[in-house]
Amino acid sequence: MTTDSEKQRLTASQAVDRRSLMRLGAAAAGAVALASCAKENPERETREGGGKGGPYDVAVIGAGYAGITAARDLAAKGWRVVVLEARPRIGGRTFTSEFLGRKVELGGSSVHWVQPHVFAEMQRYGFGFDEVPLYNLDASYIMTSDGTVHDVAPAAFDSLYSDAFNKFCANSRSLFPQPYKPFANPDVLKIDDTSAAAHIGTLGLDPLQRAALNSELVLYAGAPTSAFSYASFVKLFALASWDPFTFTDSEKHWHIANGGTAALAKAILDDSKADVRLGTVVKEVEQNDRGVILRTADGHTVEARAAIFTLPTKVYPDINFKPGLSAAKRAFIDNGEMCDGATMYMRVKKNLGNTFTFCDDPNPLNAIQTEEFNDEVGTILKATIGRQSLIDMNDQDAITAELRKIHPGVEVTDIAPYNWVKDPFSKQGWPSYKVGWFKKYKDMAKPENRLFFAGAATADGWHAYIDGAVESGIRACREVTEKLAREDTKNG
């Protein structure tokens, strides 16, 4: 019997198209499709970075955006750096793949110029923006939680949703006067036990407004909104200058041009003198007064003076830390995050035009956005799913049945799902804080002697985004540099 995670690995070098999925057979079809970076760039499997080689000053665990940023910046400061990455590719929870001959983003995708860290990286390496259809809709729909679909004219959709969203975020400027210092207003600590659902309940919304707003928030929660920290979402809104148009524009309208997230990640790493070892799963880390010893699943040992862990919160329990991590960090790892979310693409034969649909929880396809439409292709849709456990993303019939509730009779010809929750190196979707745990995210970021911690969930700013990952990599580089420089000064 093949497990889901084995299926994901089995298909690791497949680009997504219906024919290859058919060849893999029904069991594997759509399990996942990874365009393997190792296959495309065999030299990357172990890359000597052209720097100083070992012995290493710093080992960076994970080559997502947090890890590659930290590795580049540390090596630029003259430290000897090695990156240990479990997957055969870099990019982590971003993943540019192919679907029917076009590039698609199966993980983190939307970026914006109000996200300063990722925008700076795009500027540094000359990447522009690709526009995704979002405005000038031909049709828009809201499915309420009981499965009833309402065809709401785009102007009315815009107005009812904006009104609900503005009410939800009304306190954002007073709660987050300095969004990068989330607790500048101590009242945030007092409301951290308020869930998004509880706050929605205070707003006096009509049923369609409630359904649209809850669909949006399920997408950030990756869980029922009754479990989701209201304050953590409002902080994200504050980062978009407390402006609803800018916030929506930042989350659904712009992708990275010229090769997407994979190309930007490659540009960052290519600019680094760090050594890189792909397919290297760290299983154990031991630290003492002199340094850290990392042991990998294939029996190798890597030594360094310090290590930066950049892992998704849910995979930390798979690593044996000696001595164990602090109680505060373990509590956050066990309780702080909960995202069951995922993304998928699908093609339908019919040209549906430019459409947008919100489906309220527990309907599974919470936001369905047209990415491409014309008479030749039909329609390419992207669905973002707050709770992948509500549907089998690999079951094309189930996906078709959901879509037919909105577009009766449509024929789905191809699907491209990626289940991040079943991927053993993420075990979750994007970062999302459980109610009551936003105030503790800093526990996850705190250094523990020679171990340092980055990753989007530790960011002060755009924690659910690529931007947060880059921000955290910059911060971890600074912390490690301060520690090693202090030691070097002390030791003459």
Ligand X SMILES: Cc1cc2nc3c(=O)[nH]c(=O)nc-3n(C[C@H](O)[C@H](O)[C@H](O)COP(=O)(O)OP(=O)(O)OC[C@H]3O[C@@H](n4cnc5c(N)ncnc54)[C@H](O)[C@@H]3O)c2cc1C
85 binds ligand X (CB under 6 A): yes
Residue from 160, 267, 469, 480 in contact with ligand X (CB under 6 A)? 469
Contact 134, 252 (CB under 8 A): yes
| Footprint of ligand X on 401-440 (CB under 6 A) | 420, 425-426, 429-431
Amino acid 475 reads R
36 binds ligand X (CB under 6 A): no
CB of 354 to ligand X, least distance (A): 19
| Footprint of ligand X on 193-232 (CB under 6 A) | none
Q: How far apart are CA 48 and CA 234, in angstroms?
A: 43
List strand residue ranges (DSSP E) for 310-390, in order: 320-322, 342-348, 355-359, 367-374, 378-385
CB of 145 to ligand X, least distance (A): 22
Stretch that binds ligand X, among 101-109, 122-130, 157-165, 171-179 (CB under 6 A): 101-109
Stretch that binds ligand X, among 105-113, 174-182, 328-336, 408-416 (CB under 6 A): 105-113
**CA angle (402 as vertex; 401, 405 as ends), nearest 5:** 90
What values do phi and psi take at 330, rounded to 5? -65, -35
Question: How far is residue 30 from each of residues 22, 105, 417, measured CA to CA in Å?
Answer: 9, 15, 6
Nearest alpha carbon to residue 487 among 298, 341, 306, 283: 306
Amino acid 379 reads T
Enter the tokens of residue 359: 């489906």
345 binds ligand X (CB under 6 A): no
At residue 384, the 3 state secondary structure works out as strand
CB of 400 to ligand X, least distance (A): 21
137 binds ligand X (CB under 6 A): no
By rule CB under 6 A, what string of x and - marks binding of each residue 44-63 to ligand X?
-----------------xxx
| Footprint of ligand X on 278-297 (CB under 6 A) | 281-282
CB of 401 to ligand X, least distance (A): 22
Q: How far apart are CA 423 and CA 3, in angstroms?
A: 11
Nearer Cβ to ligand X (96/140): 96
Enter the tokens of residue 16: 């997504």
Contact 110, 255 (CB under 8 A): yes
Total residues in contact with ligand X, by rule CB under 6 A:
44
By rule CB under 6 A, what string of x and - marks binding of each residue 315-344 to ligand X?
x--xx---------------------xxx-
110 binds ligand X (CB under 6 A): yes
Q: How far apart are CA 172 and CA 357, in angstroms?
A: 26
Residue from 30, 49, 64, 224 in contact with ligand X (CB under 6 A)? 64
Question: What is the binding site for ligand X (CB under 6 A)?
Answer: 61-67, 84-87, 92-94, 107-111, 281-282, 310-312, 315, 318-319, 341-343, 420, 425-426, 429-431, 455-456, 464-469
